Structures are given as structure tokens and as C-alpha cells.
Amino acid sequence: MAKGITKRSEDYSRWYLDVIAAAKLADYAPVKGCMVIRPNGYAIWERMQAELDTMFKESGHVNAYFPLLIPESYLKKEAEHVEGFAPECAVVTQGGGKKLEERLVIRPTSETIIWSMYKDWIQSHRDLPILINQWANVVRWEMRTRLFLRTMEFLWQEGHTAHATAGEAQEETLRILEIYRIFAEDFMAMPVLTGVKSEREKFAGALQTYAIEAMMQDCKALQAGTSHNLGQNFAKAFDVKFQSEEGNLEHVWATSWGVSTRLIGGLIMSHSDDLGLVLPPKLAPLQVVVVPIWRGDDEKSSVLERLSAITADWKGKFRFRIDDRDNYRPGWKFNEWEKQGVPIRIEIGPRDLESGEAVLVRRDSGEKERIPHDRLLTEIPTVLQQIQKDLFKRAADFRDANTHTCDDYDDLKQRLDEDGGFYRVHWNGKRESEERLQNETKATIRVIQTEQSEKGSCILTGEPSERRVVVARAY
RNA sequence: CGGGGCGUAGCGCAGCCCGGUAGCGCAUCUGCUUUGGGAGCAGAGGGUCGCUGGUUCAAAUCCAGUCGCCCCGACCA
């Protein structure tokens, strides 16, 4: 059994932290609530960035960079926004040994500074749309932190777009939501629900917030990405107008959207097991590790020689590494790479040289298979694809098995306590009932799937309801 | 902000109650033997015991204060 990793069934939260430590993904920093993202963790983030960035660019977005420090007055320009973010802002009051004339906020998000610039950049409908994304760090002063899921400083991408019409802004909001869904499901192998957030849960300053919502292995919900339709709120706050084709001055329509290093937390909690990290092949920085086995120098050189012939044409086909370190024994290496979540391990030793085969071991299932050397090149990509598919299916089956329909409030309370999971319940759409739900059950409305409709009566009040909403306890 | 826990070698901990040469495991370094699931033996290096003050001949240990971090709740991506 894995040394140093608490079992999920014993203490899920401890397990999560143990997996991160064992896989060397992150470390605690000297400052409370801050983390160091170690090379193994950062490599995953880089994989995520690469895939997302490609999708953003393919859909017409460009990258830019706006500064970390924002004049405090900017944050105050949008009423809801300041109310939402002010309490969690870190503020710089001093610089160069002097007290500052105006205090500077370390960005908790960049809408305000970006819209202050858009004001100068937008005059005519010909300047629109602006489709800018930035990869950046932000700081939010959180009371309770957790590696990757909630840290004081985190890395993310934030898209900020400006449009001529409400319709275009809405289209953009949904286009990004779909990109997030595809990324979560196809790359992270993490099934998500998409939908709109309730008034209470929406972004401070948005008209509407859309989100992708996943279920972790402890049956809790994780909001994994958000896409906001900001309407004209920020354009009005920063006085950003454009002259339309008809010659009228109109306020610009906006969206913003983001995913963060929280995704890594979601990735861990979707697939990993009691042996450590499990990574979906598409995001695994290392997809295949080859562990050669030998006794003595003669065997070592013949195994390695054969290995370099076998792997000669692997380059560019998948990401692999030959672990020929002499100071560790095979068993140690098996364990090491398992903890780090490498999807496939290939073992090649003297026995395999004779038989002309190699042993292929899947990280997700532990299955072992003997494969002839000349078939490895074609077999490995196939198995990688299969692992990717199986991980998604396993996660989707798990989520579906833990998603329930419920019409009785007492029953809901009890089941949330006992089983957790997602519950499809009727809700009257009112803020008061949502608040009551949260106070009494610690669960919140995760998503409202507006495309579905089903008449019923609110689980709390009995009042009419247009559709079921998904309720769960969340991270 | 409430509750709990912990600060002693890089990591995990014991020692503290009952003051008297700072220890164990892992890791690290050297050598030999090993290598198909976390190797064995022999040797070695590594510490202002979180910080400040007090009591004492003597403090990791007793007293007072202080700082920090982690975990669990409320709030949040």
C-alpha cells in the first residue's frame, strides 16, 4: 500500500493533501494561504494553458497583459463589483518608503483596469469587438485556504471582451462556456454540468454568470470555470461608448470569463486514487515512463541498447521518458511514477529481450499487458486514448450514480448529510428560499439549466417552479 | 472570526509530566553487495529545540508573553 497517502475512505481532505505532497505538485509557502507550485504541478498548468490558449486563439481571441496594481478608486466605480470584492482585496498603502497618495489594490480580477483602458481604445463600432485574454495572477484575501482549490494568490486566465450588441455579448458568453465544457470533458476527462448561476451566486457586477460544475469523488460540487455576461455595467461605470453604424453613441456590451489553477484541484479530485495522482493522458506532462530492468552492467547495456532502438521513432508521437537512473531500483521507480500519475508504464528487462515483448501497465486500472516491441509504437497511443476515455466514463458514471431527483425537503436534508451528491429539485426562483436552503443544509444551487423545463412545486415553499435546479454542497 | 492541533536535522516524529551531554525513522553523502513492486550491510555529515523575557548553579523541558502554520466550521473561484 502507498506509504504516506491517507485513504480516501479514511479522510478525504487529508488524502487530497497527501496526493499533492506525494506527487510533488505544490508546497506551502511561508505566507499563510500561499502556495509554491512545484515543477510537477506547474507542468500540468502549462499543459492546460497550452490547450486553452489554442482554443481561445482559434476562436479569435488575443493575449495581452494588464498591470497587477489598480488604483483603489477604479474598483469603486462599479457598485456591485466593489461590494463583492473590496472585503477580499490586498491593498498597497506604501511605496518607496512613502505613504501613497492613492492606495493601490492588488488585482482580485481585472475588469476595472481593463475597462479604464477600453475607454481609450473604443470610439467606433469599427473598434469592436475586442477579444482579449490575459494569463495572470490575482490575489484574494481568503479566510480559509486549500492548496489549488482556494489560495490567496492564484494563476488564471481572464478574458475580457467588448461588443457592439447585447446579442454578441451573450453569444460570446456561451461560446466560452462551451470552450470550458469541451476543455473539462475532453482534456481533463471531467464531466461537467453547464448552466447559469442564481442571483446570489453570480459574479459581482455581472448580468448573468454561467458556470461549469463538476462532481468530486467525495460527491461535493466544484465550480470549475465561469463565463459572465456583464451587460453594460462596466461600460457605464467607465463611460465606454462607441458610435454605431447609425451614428448613435451607445454603451459597449461586455463579457468576462476565467478558469484558474483550481482546475488542478479538480483534476486531482476527479481521478486520483489511494496510490496517488492519476492524470488523463491529454494533460499528463509525461504520458509514458519506461523502466528498464537489469542485473549487472552487461544486462544494463544490452537492455538500454535494445530500448534505444525500440524508442527511436517514439519522439513526437507521445511524451515519454526512459528512467535509466542507476541509483533507484525498479520497485522504487514503479511507485514513484505511480504517485506522479503517469498514465502508462513500460517495463523492459532481460526476460522481455528474449521474448521480444514488454510489459505495459495502466495507471488508471493497474492492468498489465505483454506487448511485442514492434507493436508498442501503435499500441501506446491507442491505450492512451482508451485511458482518456475510461477516466471520463468512470467519472461520468460516478456523477450520474450520485445525482438524484428529490421532491421532499426533509428527505433532501437527510440525504445531503448521508450520501451527498447532486440533487435535482424544484425551486421557486426566489433569493429567500435559496438563502434558507443554504442556511439549513449548507448546500447551494450549483447550476440552473435554463434549456430544461419541467413544471413543479418548490421543494421549500411549494410555490410554482419552472424547472429543476441542481443543488449540492460545494467547495 | 469561532473550535482543535502543531512549531525539536531536509521530511515525519520522540524527548517535556519528573530541569542535568539533543535522540529515532526516512532522506542525504562514502564504500561494497544488489536490481521484475518502495534493497541490505558498514560508516559519515547535518540542530542557535519558532521567538522574547522570567525562574534556576543549570531550561527543548517550568512560568509569562508573542509570532507563525496546519486541520475542522462560517465566507469565497
Task: List strand B contacts in A 384-443 (CB < 7 A).
Answer: 438, 442
**Is A1 a domain residue?**
no
CA–CA separation, A415 vs A432, rounded Å?
Answer: 22
Instruction: Give me the residue label for grid cell 528512467.
Output: A323
Q: Is the CB of A329 under 7 A from strand B?
A: yes
Q: Under a CB-based contact definition with an 8 Å cutoff, are residues A262 and A149 in contact?
A: yes
A207 and A304 in a single domain? The answer is no
**Length of chain A, please?**
475
A148 and A173 in a single domain? The answer is yes
Q: Is the CB of A356 under 7 A from strand B?
A: no
Which domain-ending residue is among A219, A239, A271? A271
Q: Is the CB of A154 under 7 A from strand B?
A: yes
Q: Under a CB-based contact definition with an 8 Å cutoff, are residues A325 and A305 in contact?
A: no
Share of chain A above pLDDT 70, in %: 99
Say whether pLDDT at A102 is over 50.
Answer: yes
Say whether pLDDT at A98 is over 60.
Answer: yes
CA–CA separation, A300 vs A361, rounded Å?
Answer: 21
Q: Under a CB-based contact definition with an 8 Å cutoff, are residues A392 and A382 in contact?
A: no
For range A149-153, the mean pLDDT? 89
Pick out the nucleotide with least CA–C1' distance to A225.
Answer: B77
Determine the distance between A274 (CA) and B61 (C1') in angstroms: 39
Determine the distance between A143 (CA) and B67 (C1') in angstroms: 19
A245 and A182 in a single domain? The answer is yes
A151 and A236 in a single domain? The answer is yes
Determine the distance between A415 (CA) and B14 (C1') in angstroms: 44
Q: Under a CB-based contact definition with an 8 Å cutoff, are residues A471 and A438 in contact?
A: no
**Is A318 a domain residue?**
yes
Q: Is the CB of A464 under 7 A from strand B?
A: no
ipTM above 0.95, yes or no: no
- CATH number, domain at A411? 3.30.110.30
**Which nucleotides in chain B lie closer than 7 A to a protein CB?**
1, 34-39, 68-77
Give kind and range of the element (H or E) at residue A447. strand A444-447
Residue A270's closest CA among A174, A393, A128?
A393
A300 and A332 in a single domain? The answer is yes
Alpha carbon of residue A468 to chain centroid: 26
How many beta carbons lie within 10 A of that of residue A80, not counting itself?
14
**Cβ neighbourhood burial of A173 (10 Å; 0-12, 13-18, 19+):** buried
Residue A222: beta bridge partners? A214
A122 and A253 in a single domain? The answer is yes
Which domain-ending residue is among A239, A271, A303? A271
Establish whether the linkage from the previous residue to A281 is cis, with ω within 30° of 0. no
Residue A48's closest CA among A337, A260, A214, A318?
A260
User: What is the residue type of A296?
Assistant: G
Alpha-helix residue ranges (DSSP H) falling in A183-240: 233-237
Determine the distance between A334 (CA) and B44 (C1') in angstroms: 30
A241 and A301 in a single domain? The answer is no
**Is A100 a domain residue?**
no
Say whether pLDDT at A235 is over 80.
Answer: yes
**Cβ neighbourhood burial of A309 (10 Å; 0-12, 13-18, 19+):** exposed
Domain with A328, as residue range(s), is 288-383
Pick out the nucleotide with least CA–C1' distance to A330.
Answer: B35
Which domain-ending residue is among A271, A301, A336? A271
The count of structural domains within chain A is 3
| pLDDT score, position A3 | 64
Instruction: Give me the residue label for grid cell 411549494.
Output: A462
| pLDDT score, position A88 | 86
**Residues contacting A462, CB < 8 A, separation 6+:** none
Determine the distance between A92 (CA) and B53 (C1') in angstroms: 34
Q: Is the CB of A90 under 7 A from strand B?
A: no
| pLDDT score, position A354 | 92
**Complete DSSP assignment for A126-184:** GG--EEEEEEEEEE---SS-BTTTB-SEEEEEEEEEEESSHHHHHHHHHHHHHHHHHII
A171 and A229 in a single domain? The answer is yes
User: Across chain A, which distance is largest between two alpha carbons, in Å?
Assistant: 83
Inter-helix orientation angle A376-401/A262-271, to 10°: 90
CA–CA separation, A305 vs A325, rounded Å?
Answer: 15
**Is A97 a domain residue?**
no
Q: What is the pairing mode between strands A288-292 and A320-322?
A: parallel
**Is A377 a domain residue?**
yes
Say whether pLDDT at A1 is over 70.
Answer: no
Determine the distance between A30 (CA) and B47 (C1') in angstroms: 21
**Residues contacting A323, CB < 8 A, separation 6+:** A289, A290, A291, A292, A333, A337
A152 and A26 in a single domain? The answer is yes
CA–CA separation, A384 vs A279, rounded Å?
Answer: 11
Q: How far is CA A428 from CA A198, A272, A308, A348, A469, in A?
A: 12, 38, 65, 62, 10
Pick out the nucleotide with least CA–C1' distance to A28.
Answer: B69
Q: Is the CB of A253 under 7 A from strand B?
A: no
Residue A450, sorted as left (phi over 0), alpha (psi -120 to 50) or beta, turns out to be alpha
CA–CA separation, A231 vs A350, rounded Å?
Answer: 67
A311 and A437 in a single domain? The answer is no
pLDDT digits 0-9 by tens, A299-311? 999 999 999 999 9
pLDDT digits 0-9 by tens, A415-429? 998 888 999 999 999
- CATH number, domain at A203? 3.30.930.10
Determine the distance between A260 (CA) and B32 (C1') in angstroms: 51
Alpha carbon of residue A333 to chain centroid: 29
| pLDDT score, position A422 | 95
**Is A98 a domain residue?**
no
Long-range contacts of A354-359 (CB under 8 A, 24+ apart): A358/A310
Determine the distance between A304 (CA) and B62 (C1') in angstroms: 63
Q: Is the CB of A227 under 7 A from strand B?
A: no
Q: Is A327 helix (H, G, I), strand (E, B) or coil?
A: coil
Task: List strand B contacts in A 167-186 (CB < 7 A).
Answer: none
For range A422-447, the mean pLDDT? 92
- CATH number, domain at A361? 3.40.50.800
Residue A193: beta bridge partners? A213
A34 and A127 in a single domain? The answer is yes
Task: List strand B contacts in A 8-67 (CB < 7 A).
Answer: 13-14, 17, 28, 30-33
| Torsion sign, CA atoms A289, A185, A15, A36 | positive
| pLDDT score, position A125 | 97
Inter-helix orientation angle A431-441/A409-418, to 10°: 40
pLDDT digits 0-9 by tens, A265-275? 999 999 999 99
Pick out the nucleotide with least CA–C1' distance to A202.
Answer: B77
Determine the distance between A324 (CA) and B25 (C1') in angstroms: 28
Q: Under a CB-based contact definition with an 8 Å cutoff, are residues A468 and A422 in contact?
A: no
Q: Is the CB of A231 under 7 A from strand B?
A: no
A356 and A411 in a single domain? The answer is no
Pick out the nucleotide with least CA–C1' distance to A347.
Answer: B36
- Give chain A's mean pLDDT: 94
For range A440-446, the mean pLDDT? 91
**Is A301 a domain residue?**
yes
Q: Is the CB of A359 under 7 A from strand B?
A: yes
For range A265-289, the mean pLDDT? 96
